[in-house]
Amino acid sequence: MDYEVIFCIVNAGYSELVMDAAKEVGARGGTVMHAKGTANKEAEQFFKITIQPDKEVVMILVPKDIKDAVLHAVYKSAGLKSEGSGIAFSMPVNQVVGLSPVTLDNGSDK
């Protein structure tokens, strides 16, 4: 199976909103890192937003076939025009190890 990693950079405190939206369309989980933004006043004027320096970076590994749905869901819930003021992008993943298969409702693995 092919995978992509989605990075979503949002204002501090909005990572749970991102993960809730991603899980609604099939993502299983993610990793949150705390970060500090370095944008300048020109960027604030260009995007017509106030940039909060404290950020959270949410990394979500997803099967390639749901990448577009996850990107759309997280942008809809926490995009630039929301309080989360987030951006999201994806990158291809060449190899993945350590993932367990999805468990079906009857408890058997497939």
Model confidence pLDDT, tens digit, residues 1-37: 899 999 999 999 999 999 999 999 999 999 999 998 8
Amino acid at 102: V
Residues 6+ apart with CB under 8 A from 37: 9, 51, 52, 53, 54, 55
| Beta partners for residue 83, in sequence order | none
Q: How far is CA 79 from CA 61, 88, 97, 103, in A?
A: 19, 8, 31, 31
pTM greater than 0.75: yes
Residue 69 has pLDDT above 50, yes or no: yes
> What's the mean pLDDT in 80-90?
85
Which residue shows structure tokens 């999805």?
102
Smallest CA-to-CA distance from 25 within 73, 62, 57 is with: 73
Residue 50 has pLDDT above 70, yes or no: no
| Pairing of the two strands 54-63 and 31-36 | antiparallel
